[in-house]
Chains A and B, each alone.
Chain A
Amino acid sequence: MDGALFGTETEYACAGNLSPAEAASRVKDGVFSERKYGLIEPAPREWGEVPGNGGFLFNGGRLYLDSGHLEYATPECRSLHDIVAAERGGDQILVAAVVDLKVENEIFFIKNNTDHFGHTYGYHENYCLRVSPRSRDMVQGLLPFLVTRQLFTGSGMFFPAALRGRSGSRSGLLTDSSDPPGKSRFGVFGGGNSAGASRPPVPFQISQRAHFVSVDVSHRVRFGGRPILNLRDEPLAGGRFRRLHIIIGDANRSEWATALKLGTTALVAQLLELGWDPEVELENAVAALKEIARNPYGGWTVRMTDGKTIPAIDIQRVYLLEATKRFLGRDADTDWTLRQWATILNALEMDALRLDGYVDWVTKFLQLSHYAEKAARGWDDPALIKLDLAYHHVDPRVSLYTLLCKQGKIPTLVDDERAERAMHQPPADTRAAGRGHVVRAMAEARADDSIRWEVLARRLGERAVWGDERFVVYEYVDDWRDIRDTGAWHIIPYLIDWGAIAVKDHVLELSDPFRDYAEESERFGKSLPSLLRR
């Protein structure tokens, strides 16, 4: 997509015999122990990353532990095809690592955002900008789009009875109480124009994340309220580049939904960079987000600051219309996004059932509805939680999503061969290509053999006690200059970062994410054996 560059971060849930945190740690160690997929990082980093907490992958992405989850960050991508492949490559690295460790019946990873016990975990999107993501125009321009895009990006969530009790009003949670009972403007059950069809309340929300959001914007991602839009200003690139960090998205299984999520959001970010003002402002973005999420039946509306109530789909059309005027015909990804965006808004307006197989929440809602209809306890059947989770399991043996793909009910955008390559190969047209090349060369040179783990712990670590827990607190390394300044290269022989790779004072800067750094990375790779011998 012209001018766009994006990547995503997924925190996987984990089920099985071990605790989620133990399982995540074991699989992380397995991924890096044989240098089969990437190379471990020795430096302690900010955000509590201890030495060996993660590493960079041959595909240009990164795998690491965060808050007890195994988290995968894709390489930087410029095309929708590449980002879909990169996400799937990450899923498959986890599946393959579990098989390598021979724990495939003990550890199961799940690509979703809630455990049904009241916890959420992240799926973050990153878009490269040339303007500040903190500007008032950018924030105000994004919020109405982000609140309403869940209509096609939501992964859907069954709401178990235990959580319903915690959330207060049952009717408020499950239905849109502004509608008269028995009326259906369009029915997921009743079809497009089935006025009067029954509309039973169901414990289902179209977004996994909406329920957990409490503020519209914040500089933090968790403490002080989980926001729709995170204002972290951490470009991870050279001076003119900035990074938009969106944390409201659901992790999708549908590749079509992933592509449309990234494609539409990239186009909207580009519109706002150009100074366009959508001139729509929601009265209360968080309330609108939650109200839309609670209604799987359609007829979604939002209240504006001028007091008017308008269809949520019309908000999306404001953005679509401007993107079409400005960008139609520009490149294949843009045209695909515009066509699919227009089509899906029409479909959502008329009959969301048509989106079975394309939009995750619709697919899942139909599967759960079908199961509940046959179950003696209906929507109170406890197996519905497992069915919900099964949709998100990444192990193809037990994944409902994979089963539906195999049966031809869900189309995929990336074939198995391409997904396999994405486990090991970076996109060819971003700095991930250079990073991936060097990481592979470092692994082949067994650069991690030079790490002095024990000395590292003594030099940078300090024993601490918190309550009954004993642990080591590390001085963290901000970037390669910290290692140079302390002369610690004999302990930490290399540092890999999104914007630079350093091996004993030799640095490959990767400051421009739109460059592939082919020649520089080739030269750097060839110099590695002699560098590591010093």
Chain B
Amino acid sequence: MMESKDRPAAIEPTLVLPASAAPEAPTKPAETPTEVPTRPERIPGEKEKESEPDIDEQIKRIIREIPDPTPQPGGE
């Protein structure tokens, strides 16, 4: 099979997989807090979080700057 030149070996990132939910046996896991899937603390290769102004302020800016909602044609 031909491989895409740009494709890495595996698509990343991934959610952390709890031991109880290994794909070999995707059964209902026990409901204990320790088995709750958690987000990786740092995704491999992920850039250091940029120093950004307060997100609430940025959201207010975005709401100010985007146009008002506009009726769209029905699609498909």
Contacts and interface: CB of A to CB of B under 8 A. Distances in A.
Interface string A386-424: 110110010001111001001110010100001001000
B6 A403 contact: no
B26 A342 contact: yes
Interface stretch (A51-59, A65-73, A279-287, A438-446): A65-73
A14 B72 contact: yes
Contacts of B35: 346, 350
Interface in B5-35: 5-18, 20-24, 26-29, 31, 33, 35
A284 B39 CA distance: 35
A427 interface: yes
B5 to A, nearest CB: 5
A393 B65 CA distance: 12
Contact of A407 (B5, B9, B55): B55
Interface in A189-221: 192-193, 221
A69 B66 CA distance: 19
Interface residues of B, number: 58
Given A68-B75, A342-B21, A354 B4 contact: no
Given A371-B59, A428-B6, A347 B74 contact: no
A406 B50 contact: yes
A79 interface: yes
A383 B62 CA distance: 11
Contacts of B15: 340, 343-344, 347, 355, 358
A413 B72 contact: no
Given A339-B23, A406-B52, A67 B68 contact: no
Given A347-B37, A354-B38, A407-B50, A397 B70 contact: no
Nearest to A371: B59
B44 to A, nearest CB: 10
B6 A324 contact: no
A36 interface: no
Contacts of B26: 317, 320-321, 324, 341-342, 345
A342 B27 CA distance: 9
A322 to B, nearest CB: 10
A350 B36 contact: yes
B5 A428 contact: yes
A188 to B, nearest CB: 14
Nearest to A106: B67
A48 interface: no
A85 B18 CA distance: 28
B37 A346 contact: yes
A2 B1 contact: yes
Contacts of A367: 59
B11 A81 contact: yes
A359 B14 CA distance: 12
Contact of A340 (B14, B18, B29): B14
A67 B75 contact: yes
Interface stretch (A113-121, A136-144, A480-488, A520-528): A113-121
Interface in B47-76: 47, 49-50, 52, 55-56, 58-59, 62-63, 65-76
A294 interface: no
Nearest to A351: B36
B72 A115 contact: yes
A342 B17 contact: yes
Contacts of B7: 79, 81-82
A386 B68 contact: yes
A394 B45 CA distance: 24
Of the listed residues B14, B23, B47, B65, the one surrounded by the most CB atoms of chain A closer than 10 A to its CB is: B23
Contacts of B50: 406-408
A354 B63 contact: no
Interface stretch (A327-335, A448-456, A492-500): A327-335
25 contacts: A11-B75, A15-B67, A15-B68, A66-B75, A68-B73, A117-B72, A119-B75, A192-B31, A193-B33, A320-B23, A328-B23, A343-B14, A343-B21, A344-B15, A346-B36, A347-B36, A358-B39, A386-B66, A386-B69, A390-B66, A398-B66, A403-B55, A411-B43, A427-B4, A429-B3
Which 5 pairs show the lowest CB-CB distances between chains A and B?
A121-B75, A68-B73, A15-B67, A115-B72, A408-B49
